[in-house]
A and B are shown apart, each in its own frame.
Chain A
């Protein structure tokens, strides 16, 4: 328990010390999301606006969660503390759970900031949306994204220089294929199958239904969100993805850590 708390303690104090950067990142997240959502407002298309708002909001949450976990090793390399964390008597499970828990809290705060901002920019009224359902879907998809983050976190272990860059390539690919701002059908035919292996595809699809996107009964004043049973297929797939990706992420991390200890890659410069 104390060991998990250590990572929350560290994250809290680092956030406090880097507060100006935290404000900048939140501002940037809000502005980019609002910029996207305003495309729908400009088109005077309520359904498009709603599609973009849900996309921007969820992508902020999921990408930040993924990014914080994936970059946790890179941050420690930059600070020079990686060796000290790895030689502490902390199991990798507790270490990565602690990192993931702080990333989750961070992502929730940013998502709330973005949601409030988007409501201001788009006069969005969420009455009628199945918000508890959205929270359940987000909670389930969190597990899958933590697993992806853990797998990506090994990249900075493997290469100090290129690892951090590779995590962003992976993140960008998820953005491209998951239908965050447009239907998957507009992607080139050969690329569309990749959307099937991205958890974000199912998260976005389920959350849009729960909010009432695509439902002709939804109006700007009152949304008609679907019930949780209407997204049971997406929930099942996300649960299965989480059940596979989380242990797989931990396994991959353990294998790469053992390799790094043989190859001498844990040093600051790798």
Chain B
């Protein structure tokens, strides 16, 4: 059997939250999540805000250490082999976090240097990616603060890809983009997967995007993976005509902005 690119088994993560002087609450972001993604597959994770999507991406990005369970990326277990994992992942988060005063070129070269790449090669690759994403060359030297949100997000995608990672973690990459920019990004991701066989884990609120890009989709609600399959399988399981309806039926939640975290009050210090 082919080794999974992403293997997650019984993953648990909680956060301690003070509520008063002596009491503390435990907020379960992930509560026994299991799934795996094959090499070259695009897997979508759908869930409302607070369902645990970003915590999961942060664990896979080595930025968060899980409380329990197993995680491995291309055979490298976390957190034990985080150095190796960092070399094989690229991440795009919902907020395009950059040095806003620096230009796209300077931000991308900084990333390339951080990953030990030759600046000239990285610059050429960045230009190619930005061109494919529909960004003009003239924008390359413009400070990020002067760019639109859509442009910044395209630079963010270029930053994740400038290191040519076999694994791409995309945390709501098209949220807040205009329809044209969203389509550019989606087309680019389709091409990337076809061309480079990149494994992509995508979290999104957009059902149409998930249907278009993802071979399989998992529904995440209150820190649990409540359903998984192709879009067709999920709709069949829920006996609905749309993925949106399937999500509501299978999770009991809307894909709106609400806090779906499960709070479990525990004793102080627990």
Q: A residues bordering B, Cβ < 8 Å?
A: 2-3, 5-6, 9-10, 13-14, 17-18, 79-81, 83-91, 258, 261-264, 266-268
Q: What is the CA–CA distance of A85 and B91 in the complex, to the nearest angstrom?
A: 12
Q: What is the CA–CA distance of A87 and B78 in the complex, to the nearest angstrom?
A: 13
A selection of 24 A-B contacts at a CB cut-off of 8 Å is: A2-B113, A3-B116, A9-B109, A9-B110, A13-B102, A13-B106, A14-B99, A18-B101, A80-B95, A80-B98, A83-B63, A84-B111, A86-B62, A88-B114, A88-B115, A89-B114, A89-B115, A89-B116, A90-B114, A91-B83, A261-B79, A266-B63, A266-B64, A267-B58
Q: What is the CA–CA distance of A140 and B109 in the complex, to the nearest angstrom?
A: 33
CB distance from B120 to the nearest CB of A (A): 12
CB distance from B211 to the nearest CB of A (A): 29
Majority SS of interface residues in chain A? Answer: helix
Given A89-B83, A264-B55, are A81 and B114 neighbors across the interface (CB < 8 Å)?
Answer: no
* Residue numbers in B under 8 Å from A14 (CB-CB): 99, 101-102
Given A86-B63, A88-B86, A261-B65, are A3 and B114 neighbors across the interface (CB < 8 Å)?
Answer: yes
Q: Which of A81, A85, A86 has the most B CB atoms < 10 Å from its CB?
A: A81
Contact indicator B102/A261 (Cβ below 8 Å): no
Q: Does B15 contact A (CB under 8 A)?
A: yes
The chain A residue with its CB closest to the CB of B103 is: A13
Q: Does B143 contact A (CB under 8 A)?
A: yes
Contact indicator B64/A264 (Cβ below 8 Å): yes
Q: B residues bordering A, Cβ < 8 Å?
A: 15-16, 55, 58, 61-65, 79, 83, 86-87, 89, 91, 93, 95, 97-102, 106, 109-111, 113-118, 143, 159
* Residue numbers in A under 8 Å from B93 (CB-CB): 83
Contact indicator B110/A10 (Cβ below 8 Å): yes
Contact indicator B116/A81 (Cβ below 8 Å): no
* Residue numbers in B under 8 Å from A261 (CB-CB): 62-65, 79
Q: What is the CA–CA distance of A267 and B64 in the complex, to the nearest angstrom?
A: 10
CB distance from B28 to the nearest CB of A (A): 13
* Residue numbers in B under 8 Å from A79 (CB-CB): 97-100
* Residue from A6, A13, A88, A268 in contact with B97 in the complex, judged by beta carbons closer than 8 Å: A268
Given A81-B99, A268-B95, A268-B97, are A89 and B87 neighbors across the interface (CB < 8 Å)?
Answer: yes
The chain A residue with its CB closest to the CB of B90 is: A87
Contact indicator B113/A6 (Cβ below 8 Å): yes
7 closest A-B pairs by beta carbon, nearest first, are: A6-B113, A80-B97, A89-B86, A17-B101, A88-B114, A6-B114, A261-B65
The chain A residue with its CB closest to the CB of B62 is: A87
Contact indicator B116/A2 (Cβ below 8 Å): yes
* Residue numbers in B under 8 Å from A88 (CB-CB): 86, 111, 114-115
